[in-house]
Structure 1
Amino acid sequence: MRGWITRERSRVAFRRKTGLHQQLDHLRTLQHDVICDLHHIEVSKKLVISSTCVKTLHKLDGSR
């Protein structure tokens, strides 16, 4: 049973991560760089991967 929980958790984490990549790609097409911080938060005694994204005003390499 414990192995199933671990697999399920990693699958959910992967799904969240891929969703985050799509979100990043979408924001990058808007000519901005995005700084993301993945962190773990505890929601009702479950560990959840959360992300905080900040859109910069311009590309980090100096181009606009």
Structure 2
Amino acid sequence: MRAKGASDVIFLLLNEDAVAGSLTTKSLSRYAARRLFERLQLLDVVRELSGRATFRLFGL
């Protein structure tokens, strides 16, 4: 992935059971994280676990 904070997100996905879709890091805003998770979901890399539209959890 070419997003600046993608490596942080991938690290968290590999080490945690679920990661919030609104995750923020130093180099990734909450909106960028949402777009990254949507892109990863389209590529079938992650699954949306919560089934809710307002608060989404993603995991492998």
TM-score (norm 1): 0.27
Q: Which of structures 1 and 2 has the larger relative contact order (alpha carbons within 8 angstroms, sep 6+)?
A: 2
The structure with more strand, counted as a fraction of residues: 1
From the CA coordinates, give the structure whose radius of gyration is larger. 1
